Amino acid sequence: MRVPGFPFPKVAAVTELTLEASRQVVREEMSQTKSPWLDGAAAAAYLGTTAGTLKTWRATSKGPRYRVLQDRLIRYNIEDLDAFARGE
């Protein structure tokens, strides 16, 4: 789709990506690693938010389920992120 007054059609196409399309890209990349676990930055990108927002949600007991490994590593399971996005 060409946006009037916008001379870069490829950039305009990129701006049309939806959150679901972004999630599909993450799923495809994850299928290569075979791990359903994401760190905070990857989980934030998957949900379309920031790592800071995830940290706030953890502190207030809101947001998706997460696991703490070795007393400091936070990991999110992709199924838990999907459930959170669906409102479950």
Q: What is the pLDDT of residue 47?
A: 93
Q: Domains for the chain: give ranges and CATH numbers.
A: 9-86 (1.10.1660)
At 50-88, the pLDDT tens digits run: 999 999 999 999 999 999 999 999 999 999 999 999 988
Using alpha carbons, list the distances in angstroms from residue 35 to 13, 14, 53, 75.
Answer: 30, 27, 23, 11
Closest CA to 64 of 72, 28, 75: 75
CA 1 to mean position of chain CA atoms = 26
* Predicted TM-score (pTM) of this structure: 0.63
**Cα–Cα distance, 18 to 46 (Å, whole number):** 11
